A and B are shown apart, each in its own frame.
Chain A
Amino acid sequence: MKTFFKLFAAQAKELLRDRMSLFWYIAFPVIFILIFGAIFSGGTNLNFEVGIAAESEGPVSQGIVQAFEAVESFTMHTGSREEELEALRAGNRSAVLVIPAAVEQLVSVPGGMPGQGASSSIAEPVKVEVLYDKGQQQTTSIVLSIVDQLLEGIEQQLTGKTRLLVADQKPVAAEQLRDIDFLLPGILAMAIMQLGLFGSFNIVSLREKKVLKSLGATPLPRVMLLGSEILVRVLLSLFQTLLIIIIGRLVFDVQVTGPWYQVIATVLLGSVTFISFGYLLTLFSKSEESGIGLVQLVQFPMMFFAGIFFPTTFMPDFLQPLVKIIPLTYLGDLLRHVMVSMPTEYPIVTSLLVLGGVTVVSVIGSVLLWRWE
C-alpha cells in the first residue's frame, strides 16, 4: 500500500510538473467549449419542425394546437394531413401529428347528451397519430418525448384529474433544448477520450526511455504500476469534468439535471474505458511518435463520427454502421442522458455493455501483451 501511494504520488507529480501536457489536457476541451458555445449559443435553440393536422376545428383541437405552438423547441406548421405528410417525406418535418376529430368528444359538456362524455372516452382512448421518419432516431426520440409530455398535460387539463403518480424525474431539458446542451456532454466525452488515449502515451515514453525496464528489474508488480497510472488519469478526468460543468453553468447556463453520482459514475466508466483502450493501442506502437500517429488515426474518426458536435442522424446512412462501432458514440449518448436528461439513442444497457466490454478486452490485452521495453 505504501508502495502504491508512493508510486501514485510520483506519477501525479510527474504529470503536474509537465505544464505543457497539462495545458493540453485541460485547456483544449475548455477552448473547444468556449468556441463552439459561442458559435451555437447565439439564440439558436435546438429546433424541430413539427407539422400538425387537425381534422376538426373544435375548441379541443385548437387548444392542442396552441399548446404545441407554445413549445419553444418546436416550430409548428399547420396544414392538412396530406400536405404535412408530403412535407415529412420531403424531409421538412421532424414529425407530424394528426389530431382526430374524436378529441372534441373528450370534453363532457355540462348537461350534455347521454352516452357521450368523459366516461366513454376512458373506455376508448383517442389516438393521436404521430408520424415520423424512422431513419432519424435521435431527433424522433426527443420530439416524441416532448409530444408525450404535452399530451399528458393536456389530458390532465381535460379530465380535470390530478395524477396520482407522478414521475419525479421529468426531463426538464426537453422543453429547453439548446445546441449547447447537446454539445457540452459531447465535449466532455471527447475530453475523456483524449485524456485516456493521449495520456497512455506517458507509458510509451517511459518504455522508450527504458524507465519501464529499470522498474521491471525491481519487485514492483506491473498491476501496481498500471493501477496508479490509471488512478492519476481518472482523477484528472474528474477534475476536467468539474471544470467543464462549471464553465457550462457559468458561461452558457447549462444545468446539469441528472444526479451527480450518475454523472460521476459515467465519467469514471468512460475514462477507465479510454485509458485502458489507450494502453492497448500503445502496445502496438514502437515509438512515441508512431504511437501518437496511431492514436490520431483512431481518435479523429471517433471525434467526428460519434455525434459529439451534432446528432449522428445528420450523417448519411452509409456512415451509420461506423457510428455504431465507435465506443465514443455510447459514452456521448450516456453523458447527454445523465447530464442534461436527453433521451438516450441507444438502450442504456447496450452502452454500458459496449464501454464495459471495451474496457475488459483492453485490460486483458494490455496485461497479456505487456512489455517492459
Chain B
Amino acid sequence: MTCIKVKDLKKSYGSLQAVDGISFEVRPGEIYGLLGPNGAGKTTTIEMLVGLRTRDSGTVDILGYDPQVAPEKVKSGIGVQLQSPAMFPRLTVLELVELFASFYQDPLPVDEVIEMVGLTEKKKAQSRKLSGGQMHRLAIALAIVSNGRIIFLDEPTTGLDPQARRNLWEVILGLKKSGKAVFLTTHYMDEAEKLCDWVAIVDQGRIIAEGHPETLIDEHFKERALEFEQPAYVNEKRLEKLTGVKKIVTDGDLVTLYTETVSQTIAELFDLAKETGQPVNDIAVRRSTLEDLFLKLTGRRIRE
C-alpha cells in the first residue's frame, strides 16, 4: 500500500530543468526524506505534490488522487509546511492554529498541537512577534493540525538551534508512530540519518542514490573518512599512494581520505608530514555519513 506514488516527474523553468525525471513511492508510517543541496529541485517537487505547481510531465498519485486533477481531494487529506514561514502577522498563535484547524474535516485538538511544537507559552503572542525558530514551529503546527494522512515538511529544521531541532525530530517521529506518512526535504544529512526510513539524494533535479540511510552508506563505503587540513603544496599523488586510500576529496585546505585501513593510513600520513616538514592539522576520523556519500557521488559538498 502506498500513499504517494510519483513516476518520472519533470518540471522546467525556461532552460533550467528543475526536476528531471524523479520517481519514488512512500508508504504510511514511513518517513521519506528528499536530500540535496539548495536548488536541487526539492521544493519544486514538494510543491508539485501538494498541488501548488503544475508539472510538465510524469504522474503523481497522492492518496489515490492526482493533485492536478483533484487538488481539493489531495489538499484535504494532507498537511503542508512550506519554506519561508509567514502568516497573518496580527493573529496570535492560537488563532492561527484554530483557523487552520477549521479548514479540515477532522483536525487534531488545537492545544495538543501547540503543545507538541512547544509553543504553549507563546499561544497568545501575535505571529509577527515570534522569533524565526518559533515561526518555523508554528508553520509545522499548522501542517500537523490538519491531521492529514501525509505530512509534507519542506526544510522543517532550517534555521533552528540544536535543541529546537532535536525537539522537532521527536515531533516528527511521533507523527510516524501515529501511522502518518511524513515526506520531508532537508539539506541536513544528519537529520536524514536520524529520521528517515528511506532517503533519496537529489542533485540537479535527479535522484542519484536511494535507500535506507545506513544501507545506503554501507553500500557505498567500506572505508572510514579521514579528514585533515593540508598545506596547499602537499602532493595529492603522494596521498594516493598511502596504504588503504580509496578516494581523495579536497575542498580548499580540507582533505578527506576514504580508507579501509585507518591506523596504517594515519601512520603513513604522519611519516609523510615529517618528510615534507609540514604539520597535518585537525585530523579526525569518522564513520562515513550521507554527507560523505553526497561528496563521493557529486564531488561537491552539500552546503556550498
Contacts and interface: CB of A to CB of B under 8 A. Distances in A.
Given A14-B88, A214-B82, A219 B72 contact: yes
Nearest to B76: A219
Contacts of A206: 88
Interface stretch (B99-107, B203-211, B243-251): B99-107
B99 A217 contact: no
Given A210-B82, A217-B52, A7 B87 contact: no
B72 A14 contact: no
A218 interface: yes
A163 interface: no
A13 B95 contact: yes
Given A217-B75, A219-B75, A221-B72, A209 B103 contact: no
Interface string A1-28: 0110011001101100110000000000
18 contacts: A10-B96, A13-B95, A14-B89, A210-B84, A211-B86, A213-B52, A214-B82, A214-B142, A216-B52, A217-B50, A217-B52, A218-B104, A218-B146, A219-B72, A219-B75, A220-B103, A221-B72, A373-B52
A372 interface: yes
B110 to A, nearest CB: 12
B153 to A, nearest CB: 12
Contact of B95 (A3, A10, A216, A220): A10
Contacts of A219: 72, 75-76, 103-104
Contacts of A373: 52
Which secondary structure dominates where chain A touches chain B?
helix
B17 interface: no
Contacts of B99: 6-7, 10
| Chain A interface residue number, banded | 20 to 34
A3 to B, nearest CB: 5
B74 to A, nearest CB: 9
Contacts of A17: 90, 126
Interface string A34-72: 000000000000000000000000000000000000000
Given A7-B99, A219-B75, A219-B103, A14 B91 contact: yes
A219 B79 CA distance: 10
Interface string A248-283: 000000000000000000000000000000000000
| Chain B interface residue number, banded | 20 to 34
B225 to A, nearest CB: 38
Interface string A192-234: 0000000000000010011101101111110000000000000
B21 interface: no
B86 A13 contact: no
A214 B139 contact: yes
Give the one of B50, B102, B104 with max A CB within 10 A: B102
Contacts, number: 65
Interface of B: 50-52, 72, 75-76, 80, 82, 84-91, 95-96, 98-100, 102-104, 126, 139, 142, 146, 152
A372 B47 CA distance: 12
A217 B102 contact: no
Contact of B90 (A2, A14, A214): A14
A96 to B, nearest CB: 61
Interface of A: 2-3, 6-7, 10-11, 13-14, 17-18, 206, 209-211, 213-214, 216-221, 372-373
Contacts of B91: 10, 13-14
Contacts of B89: 14, 209
Nearest to A220: B103
B303 to A, nearest CB: 23
B104 A217 contact: no
A18 B90 contact: yes
Nearest to B75: A219
B86 A214 contact: yes
B171 to A, nearest CB: 19
Give the one of B51, B87, B152 with max A CB within 10 A: B87
A6 B100 CA distance: 9
Nearest to B154: A217
B82 A213 contact: yes
7 closest A-B pairs by beta carbon, nearest first, are: A217-B80, A219-B76, A17-B90, A209-B86, A6-B102, A219-B75, A218-B103
Contacts of B82: 210, 213-214, 217
Contacts of A13: 90-91, 95
B53 to A, nearest CB: 9
